Structure 1
Amino acid sequence: MPITTDIQIHAVNVLVIGSGAAGLRAAIAAADAGCEVLVVGKRARTDAHTVLAAGGINAVLGTRDPEDSWQQHFADTFKEGYGLGDPAMIEILVREAPDAVRELADWGAPFSRLPDGRLDQRFFGAHTYRRTCFAGDWTGRAVLETLARRSEGIPMRESFYVTELLHADGECFGAFGFDLDTGVRTAIYADAVVLAAGGHTRLWRRSSSRRDENTGDGMSLALLAGCRLADLELVQFHPSGMTHPEEIAGTLVTEAVRGEGGRLYNALGERFMSGYDPERMELSTRDRVALACYTEITSGRGGPNGGVFLDISHLDKAVILERLPRMYRQFLDHQLLDISTTPMEVAPTAHYSMGGVVVDAETTATDLTGLYAAGEVTAGVHGANRLGGNSLAETIVFGRRAGQAAAAWARDRTTIKRPAAVVAAANERLASVIKRGDEFARPLQRDLRDLMWERCGVVRDEDGLKQALIGIDALTDRAQQVDVSPTAEGHADLAHLLDLQASLLVAKATVLGAIARRETRGCHNRSDYPELDEALAKTLEVSMDDRELRVGSRALPEPAPELARLAALIPDLDPTGRLTE
């Protein structure tokens, strides 16, 4: 069944691309402002990547620790990001998170509460005080389902793939895409667009993202439309992901396992964290534990599936079932392994994109007029290491701001150009990739993920990164020959090719940033530049000029002196009793 060449036209005030927490919160804000809104997403409304966020959402409520303050939350976030976070964005986040979380609670989010009815809060790693609200170990799902209920009256097109942003003369006027089931193509005209399409962690061999999400397609959409991307090399690698079976490799093994007393061993039976952080052991910082696991594996002390061993079997099984029920079921379902008796084999996994689209702190506006962005697709908040619990807060705070700003722009816009030639060109570009070929997208996606893991993974060096560029160029050439043959069963192979093309572009931008950042800072480990370089306390930006990627840099503004002093005073915190996810 060939894909239809007919083009449907749809027009709205505000188009939201992405149906996760950031996208739904933007849609709610725009609708509340009186705009006609449409949300499009590749997945179902309640199945976006947000559902995988487990631990909690940060807000200074003072429930457990009344002495907490937004200033301290700022200082913790700025320090954990190794000074690369945008002070303006961080301040907005920490000031507005309390009201945003209370709002979610008022909308019915099932956050845990104290006996007196106030929202409970727990410790997360690198937080001075307890400020993380939570709903068991499924906070992300609780937040997304709450937003889905709140947005029930807002139209949404599921299984819709956006192939490109529509723009002319520096202004965005919508997006072009197709239905994954029917192949019907649609030009969606919009007075304003919000991009909330996630990160790029699926570019790595082991990733906590699921298949066909976080492929960098949102970042690619923005880059091809003239926007800058920043700090893509800053990718957080979680210390523990599953190693097998193949289809779920990288799936997160929560740090709560270590928080409850889990111990890490290599294949020789050595509890190796004693050689990396003898005081904090398995409760060391995420980047340090990830590096330790990686070093043990690459030094030949890994297990049969390329991992190290995380053992919780010394705890009573009743305790494991009470404290770690999801992990118990996860290993039983996928490996027939009982973690109460047998160690888990784990390895580092790409977990979160700290870099992304450059946005204005106040409005979330991008370099393309009429285009706004929020959530993991953006850069600015997290610097070189994300503070646990800040990601969900970011989606809500900046999702709301993006929706409000997009609505204001849509209301005030008096004229808008919608050249038919731009839509026709988008249609032709989509049609041009539907052809017979000798290659297939899935194997090339795997090859790219292997390449990024080996050459731009937990530890990088210049030689390996340059080899990555050569490999990416070779895969890009092979991608020209991918077979795309839509059938009555759907158009998944077309989506796989488009994901691959986006991933190749964003992978190249990531590697270029990693080459330019000749230092070790936070999550970015350069074996050939092992020291932090104060001259590189700046954001590295990638832009596209005549189809070529260019790397530049931009100095970050300094935080207010009193906030900088507070960040400098933060000691290394005792991790006892703190989750770090």
Structure 2
Amino acid sequence: MTPADPAGGQYDGSVDERVDVSVLVIGAGAAGARTAIELAEEGVDDVLVLGKRGHGDAHTTWARGGINGALGTHDPEDSWAIHAADTLNEGHSLNDPQKVETVTRQMPERLRELDEWGMEFSRTEDGEIDQRYFGAQSFRRTAFAGDHTGESMLNTLVERAQALEVPYRENVMITRLLSDGESAHGAVGFDMDTGESVLFNAGAVVLAAGGYAAIYNRHTSRDDENNGDGPALAYEAGAELMDTEFVQFHPTGMAVDEDDPEWAPWSGRLVTEAVRGEGGRLYNTEGERFMERYSPDQMELDARDVVARAIAKEVAEGRGTDNGGVYLDLSHKDRAFIEERLPRMYERFQELGVDMAEQAVEVAPTAHYGMGGVAVDEHGETSVDDLYAIGETMAGVHGANRLGGNSLAETVAFGVVAGQRIADRVDGSGDLPGGFVGSVVEPHVSDLKALADRDGEHDVMAVFTEIQSVMWEHAGILRDEETLQMGLDRLADLREQARDMDVGPITSDSFEYAVDIGFMLTVAETVLRGALKRTESRGAHYRTDYTETEANWRRNIYYARADLGRMRSYTRGIGEPSTEVQAALDENHELDYHQLE
């Protein structure tokens, strides 16, 4: 690591540090870690993984319920093709079939690999990797480690990366990718501890920076992650976004009294699908097990969009709790069973004074996952050469609604695919184009420094939370033309406010959130524009003024930069499944919930 040099431009000392690497991985969760592992195993030793937080502290740890793969531990008739069929069905046929197959074909091997690397999977009595039901799965296919699967998986991947001596740098925030619109050349950011600017010159860049669910005010992420960093960085670099109108509202986030200081911080936090997978039942305040009305066959384990809308309807019609939720009850199960299968959930509620073995918990829908993201090819590469996007940052696998248990699966599957592709192509750190430092890097760093300690009219957190409120109110579970257009108008006002904010020093939370606001505004606009353009209801996107699914809307919506900073959109049709997957679709496999009774 050396002081920045001109690299063809007039260097005036405004960049504090330059780092040259072959591959820069932005994001230190499961997707970034698995990519780095693959690169190291392929012999690429000049890799650097960047994390916005401390080592091992990534959103992956919040994925609790499980990871899919057709091992057939309990149901030997399961297969990768049926897994693919379930994924396409849950995605309402808007998924890229090739990407779906890339994930489902790999997953049995990826699960066994994690097992070999020491992941603490829950086991059957015979010592096999145990698997549980998740919503809309035809068979028990979700492998798990209690209800802390993501945490256990990330720990395993971090240990593997450390064993391979993969370099890692923490507490660095990337604020811009270096791109000429044709190729990526690295990134610029700042050290969040020191405030010093850092230029990363790289032969290839991998965005594994998460999704955008936290642009909503009820969400399952922490406020300082999943703000749309990855998609927005790619978009500004010249890549296209796709399908961002599809936001998954998980049926069971915590519904709390937000005036209670003990409970308020938990509002919207995930109550894992594993609770329902292990037999949890949903009741309204009249004591009705209401899913019998909406889905008598799949009950609580129907698709997430179906269950979320059912809960929203119960609340809207006056059968919800004072906190805007319904009850999720597991008290018919033995205490020992709950403690063994759902230890983190049991402990969380126990600490809050609720005993899950005796009491129901209050739940309501919460923004959980963005099915859209950066448009990529079969290797995870964007339309900008040498720029890759994987994990929740990428689009294509999940279609209009994600199958539970597929998010962790996608991270490791595409981590391998992208890693192999990059290893075949990368050749050193590359050279920044002539004049790039002077014309691009240093003006950007100057802008960052000007943002710090800025006096302005609007409070950063007020703008931040108002964006989240706008998205919840105008692009939530139920949408219509008038509401969406109002959301775009309010977003335009917030964009003006963001230009006049009162911002703290570069090492402050205020500065970080001010940068996040820029990312959020970009992605929020695509969500609203896409939801307005898509005049049908499909999966997680429900229009009260266009309630039917239309065959001619089996198309993806793409978003790209236009002249003068404008945004343009267009649509493109979708390919067809392979013969094997089509056969599995034709067989019409379906979960029989009542096996759990």
Q: TM-score, normalised to structure 2's length?
A: 0.91
Match of 1:156 among 168, 172, 177: 168
Measured after TM superposition, the shift of residue 369 of structure 1 is 1.0
Indicate conservation of the 8 Å contact 1:76/1:570, yes or no: no
Task: For residues 147-195 of structure 1, give each alpha carbon's deviation from its aligned partner in whole angstroms, at most 9, with x where no partner exists.
Answer: 1011112221111110000112611110000011110110011011100
Indicate conservation of the 8 Å contact 1:198/1:218, yes or no: yes
Identity of aligned residues (%): 46
Measured after TM superposition, the shift of residue 229 of structure 1 is 0.6
SS of residue in 1 equivalent to 2:519 = helix
Indicate conservation of the 8 Å contact 2:202/2:429, yes or no: no
Measured after TM superposition, the shift of residue 67 of structure 1 is 3.0
Indicate conservation of the 8 Å contact 1:13/1:407, yes or no: no
Match of 1:136 among 132, 146, 167: 146
State the match for 2:28 in structure 1: 19
SS of residue in 1 equivalent to 2:393 = coil
> Partners of 2:555 and 2:472 in 1: how far apart?
25
Match of 1:530 among 543, 547, 558: 547
State the match for 2:209 in structure 1: 197
Q: 1:129 to 1:256 in 2, by over 3 A?
A: closer
Match of 1:452 among 440, 449, 471: 471
Measured after TM superposition, the shift of residue 416 of structure 1 is 5.2
The aligned amino acid for 2:308 is: A
The aligned amino acid for 1:27 is: A
Indicate conservation of the 8 Å contact 1:128/1:573, yes or no: yes
> Partners of 1:559 and 1:316 in 2: how far apart?
43
Measured after TM superposition, the shift of residue 121 of structure 1 is 3.0
Indicate conservation of the 8 Å contact 1:18/1:197, yes or no: yes
Match of 1:550 among 557, 560, 568: 568
Task: For residues 199-257 of structure 1, give each alpha carbon's deviation from its aligned partner in whole angstroms, at most 9, with x where no partner exists.
Answer: 10001121111121100011100011111111001111111111233322110112333
The aligned amino acid for 2:345 is: M
> Partners of 1:276 and 1:439 in 2: how far apart?
45
> Partners of 1:324 and 1:25 in 2: how far apart?
26
State the match for 1:570 in structure 2: 588
Indicate conservation of the 8 Å contact 1:283/1:576, yes or no: no
The aligned amino acid for 2:490 is: G
> Partners of 1:53 and 1:427 in 2: how far apart?
35
Indicate conservation of the 8 Å contact 2:15/2:199, yes or no: no
State the match for 2:77 in structure 1: 67
Residue 385 of structure 2 is aligned to residue 369 of structure 1: yes
Task: For residues 475-495 of structure 1, give each alpha carbon's deviation from its aligned partner in whole angstroms, at most 9, with x where no partner exists.
Answer: 1111111111217xx332111
> Partners of 2:340 and 2:35 in 1: how far apart?
36
Q: 1:90 to 1:51 in 2, by over 3 A?
A: same
Q: 1:280 to 1:171 in 2, by over 3 A?
A: closer
Match of 1:384 among 400, 405, 412: 400
Indicate conservation of the 8 Å contact 1:372/1:406, yes or no: no
Residue 151 of structure 2 is aligned to residue 145 of structure 1: no
| Pairs within 5 Å for 1:304-453 | 304-333=322-351, 335-361=352-378, 363-411=379-427, 417=433, 419-420=436-437, 421-434=439-452, 435-453=454-472
The aligned amino acid for 2:233 is: L
State the match for 2:8 in structure 1: none
Q: 1:309 to 1:521 in 2, by over 3 A?
A: same
State the match for 1:31 in structure 2: 40
SS of residue in 2 equivalent to 1:296 = helix
Match of 1:105 among 111, 115, 135: 115
The aligned amino acid for 2:29 is: G
Residue 302 of structure 2 is aligned to residue 284 of structure 1: yes
Q: 1:356 to 1:119 in 2, by over 3 A?
A: same
Q: 1:25 to 1:260 in 2, by over 3 A?
A: closer
Indicate conservation of the 8 Å contact 2:147/2:341, yes or no: no
Indicate conservation of the 8 Å contact 2:207/2:389, yes or no: yes
The aligned amino acid for 1:402 is: A
CA RMSD of aligned residues (A): 2.2
Q: 1:95 to 1:323 in 2, by over 3 A?
A: closer
Task: For residues 273-321 of structure 1, give each alpha carbon's deviation from its aligned partner in whole angstroms, at most 9, with x where no partner exists.
Answer: 3332344443433221110111122334332222222233455545443
SS of residue in 2 equivalent to 1:526 = coil
Q: Could you tell which deviates more after superposition, 560-569 or 153-162?
A: 560-569
Indicate conservation of the 8 Å contact 1:181/1:491, yes or no: no
Indicate conservation of the 8 Å contact 1:125/1:575, yes or no: no
State the match for 2:259 in structure 1: none
Match of 1:211 among 215, 223, 237: 223
Q: Could you tell which deviates more after superposition, 310-319 or 12-21?
A: 310-319
Indicate conservation of the 8 Å contact 1:240/1:348, yes or no: yes
Q: 1:57 to 1:260 in 2, by over 3 A?
A: closer
Q: 1:169 to 1:551 in 2, by over 3 A?
A: closer
Q: 1:21 to 1:411 in 2, by over 3 A?
A: same
Q: Which runs of 5+ in 2 are unaligned?
A: 1-12, 257-262
Q: Which runs of 5+ in 1 are unaligned?
A: none
SS of residue in 2 equivalent to 1:376 = helix
SS of residue in 2 equivalent to 1:140 = helix
Q: 1:262 to 1:393 in 2, by over 3 A?
A: closer
The aligned amino acid for 2:368 is: H
State the match for 2:494 in structure 1: 475
Q: 1:539 to 1:523 in 2, by over 3 A?
A: same
Q: 1:60 to 1:339 in 2, by over 3 A?
A: closer
SS of residue in 1 equivalent to 2:57 = coil
Measured after TM superposition, the shift of residue 519 of structure 1 is 1.0
Task: For residues 415-447 of structure 1, give each alpha carbon's deviation from its aligned partner in whole angstroms, at most 9, with x where no partner exists.
Answer: 652622221122123223221112122122211
Q: Could you tell which deviates more after superposition, 251-260 or 33-42?
A: 251-260
Measured after TM superposition, the shift of residue 577 of structure 1 is 5.3
State the match for 1:242 in structure 2: 254
Measured after TM superposition, the shift of residue 567 of structure 1 is 1.0
State the match for 1:57 in structure 2: 67
> Partners of 1:577 and 1:472 in 2: how far apart?
47
Residue 129 of structure 2 is aligned to residue 119 of structure 1: yes
Residue 51 of structure 2 is aligned to residue 41 of structure 1: yes
Task: For residues 449-471 of structure 1, give each alpha carbon's deviation from its aligned partner in whole angstroms, at most 9, with x where no partner exists.
Answer: 11111111111111111111011
Q: 1:273 to 1:121 in 2, by over 3 A?
A: closer
Q: 1:577 to 1:187 in 2, by over 3 A?
A: farther
> Partners of 2:199 and 2:595 in 1: how far apart?
51
The aligned amino acid for 2:53 is: R
Q: 1:161 to 1:343 in 2, by over 3 A?
A: same
Q: 1:323 to 1:577 in 2, by over 3 A?
A: farther
Task: For residues 496-530 of structure 1, give each alpha carbon's deviation from its aligned partner in whole angstroms, at most 9, with x where no partner exists.
Answer: 00111111110011111111111111111111111
> Partners of 2:381 and 2:596 in 1: how far apart?
36
> Partners of 1:486 and 1:554 in 2: how far apart?
44
SS of residue in 2 equivalent to 1:240 = strand
Q: Could you tell which deviates more after superposition, 435-444 or 453-462?
A: 435-444
Q: 1:103 to 1:260 in 2, by over 3 A?
A: closer
SS of residue in 2 equivalent to 1:151 = helix
Q: Could you tell which deviates more after superposition, 560-569 or 23-32?
A: 560-569
